Amino acid sequence: MSRTVSRPAIIGALLKKEFKAYSRDTVYLLLTLLVLIAVPIVFRALPDSVDETITLAVSPPVSVLVEEGKDALRDLGATEEQLAELDEADLTGEQEGLLLLEFEDEEEMTGVIEGTVEAWQTEGGEFVFRDKEADEDKPDDAERVNVDIGIAFPAGFISDVATGEDDITVTVYSDAGVPEEIKGAMRSFVREAAYQLAGKELPVDLPAEESIVLGQDRSGDQVTLQEKTRPLLLFMILLMETFSMASLVSTEVLQRTVTAVLVTPAKVGDFLAAKTIFGTALSLSQALIMLALIGGMTAENWSLLLVVLLMGAIMFTGVAMFVGSAGKDFMGQLFYALLFTIPLLIPTFSIMFPGSVAPWVRIIPTYPIIDVLVQSTVYGATWSDSWGSLAYAAVWLVVLYGAGLIALKRKVESL
Q: What is the pTM of this model?
A: 0.71
Residue 305: name the closest of 356, 373, 353, 392 by CA: 373
**Beta strand spans in 104-231 (E):** 117-122, 127-131, 142-145, 149-152, 171-174
**Whole-number pLDDT of residue 71:** 67
CA distance 171 to 62: 15
User: What residue spans define the domains of the chain?
Assistant: 7-47+223-414, 54-212
**Contact by Cβ (8 Å): 294, 42:** no
User: Helices marked H in 126-267 — which ranges?
Assistant: 157-162, 180-198, 209-212, 225-254, 257-263
Residue type, 194: A
CA distance 41 to 274: 34
Residue 62 has a CB neighbour count (10 Å cut-off) of: 16
CA distance 315 to 398: 8
Residue 67 has a CB neighbour count (10 Å cut-off) of: 15
CA distance 167 to 389: 56
**Whole-number pLDDT of residue 79:** 66
Distances in Å between the alpha carbon of 408 and those of 113, 272, 339, 345?
60, 8, 18, 24
* Chain Cα centroid distance, residue 312: 20
End-to-end Cα separation, the chain, in angstroms: 31
The tens place of each residue's pLDDT in the chain, 415 residues long, gives 456 668 788 888 888 888 888 888 787 788 888 888 998 999 988 887 766 667 778 888 777 777 776 666 666 666 667 666 656 655 444 455 667 778 888 888 888 888 777 877 777 767 777 777 666 667 777 777 777 788 888 877 777 776 677 677 778 888 776 767 777 777 776 777 666 655 555 444 545 544 444 445 455 456 788 888 899 999 989 888 888 888 888 888 777 787 877 778 888 888 889 899 999 999 999 999 999 999 888 888 899 999 999 999 999 999 988 888 876 666 777 787 888 888 888 888 776 666 667 888 889 999 999 999 988 988 888 899 899 999 999 999 999 999 999 988 888 888 6
